[in-house]
Amino acid sequence: MNSIVRTLKSKLGGALQKRIALYLLLVFFAALFLTPLFIVISTGLKTFQDARLAAMWTLPPEISFEAFSQAFSRLAPHLRNSLVLVIPATFLSAALGSLNGYVFSKWRFRGSDTIFALMLFGMFIPYQSILIPLVVSLREIGLYGSLGGLILTHVVYGIPITTLMFRNFYAKIPDELLDAGFMDGLELLGAYRRIIVPLSAPGLVVVVIWQFTSIWNDFLFAVTITQRPGVQPITVALQNLAGSQVVEWNVQMAGALLAALPTLIIYIILGKYFVRGMLAGSVKG
Partner 1 sequence: MIRSKREIRKAVLLVAPSIVLVGVFVYGFILWSLRTSVSAWEGIRPDYTFVGLQNYINLFRSTRFQIDLWNTAYFTLFFIVLCISLGFLLAFLINRNVRGEDIFRTIYLFPMALSFIVTGVVWRWMLNPTFGVNVILANLGLPSDWGWYTDPTRIAGFHVALTALILAAAWQFAGYTMAIFLAGLRGIPSEVVESARIDGASEIYIVRKVIVPMLKPITLSAVIVLGHISLKIFDLVMAMTGRGPRFATDFPGVFMFETTFTGNRYGEGAAISIVMLIMVAVVVVPYLYYSFKRED
Q: Which stretch binds partner 1 (CB under 8 A): 3-11, 59-67, 70-78, 186-194?
A: 186-194
CB of 2 to partner 1, least distance (A): 27
Does the protein bind partner 1 through residue 238 (CB under 8 A)?
yes
Near partner 1 by CB under 8 A: residue from 69, 80, 182, 244: 182
C-alpha atoms less than 13 angstroms from C-alpha of 117 in its C-beta half-sphere? 4
Question: Rounded to whole angstroms, how far apart are CA atoms 247 and 253?
Answer: 10
CB of 104 to partner 1, least distance (A): 7
Question: In terms of Cα–Cα distance, which of 176, 178, 172, 207 is closest to 195?
Answer: 178
Radius of gyration of the chain (CA): 25
Question: Rounded to whole angstroms, how far apart are CA atoms 130 and 136?
Answer: 10
Does the protein bind partner 1 through residue 125 (CB under 8 A)?
yes
Near partner 1 by CB under 8 A: residue from 63, 76, 172, 179: 179
Taking CB under 8 A as the criterion, which residues in 56-115 touch partner 1? Answer: 56-57, 96, 99-100, 102-104, 106-107, 109, 113, 115
CB of 150 to partner 1, least distance (A): 14
Please answer whether residues 110 and 196 qualify as being in contact, where contact means their C-beta atoms are separated by less than 8 angstroms.
no
CB of 246 to partner 1, least distance (A): 16
CB of 224 to partner 1, least distance (A): 7
Burial class (CB in 10 A: 0-12, 13-18, 19+), 189: exposed
Q: Which stretch binds partner 1 (CB under 8 A): 2-10, 66-74, 142-150, 266-274?
A: 266-274
CB neighbourhood size of 267 (10 A): 15
Residues 6+ apart with CB under 8 A from 139: none
Does the protein bind partner 1 through residue 244 (CB under 8 A)?
no
Taking CB under 8 A as the criterion, which residues in 9-48 touch partner 1? Answer: 22-23, 25-26, 29-30, 33-37, 39-40, 43
DSSP helix/strand/coil, 141: coil
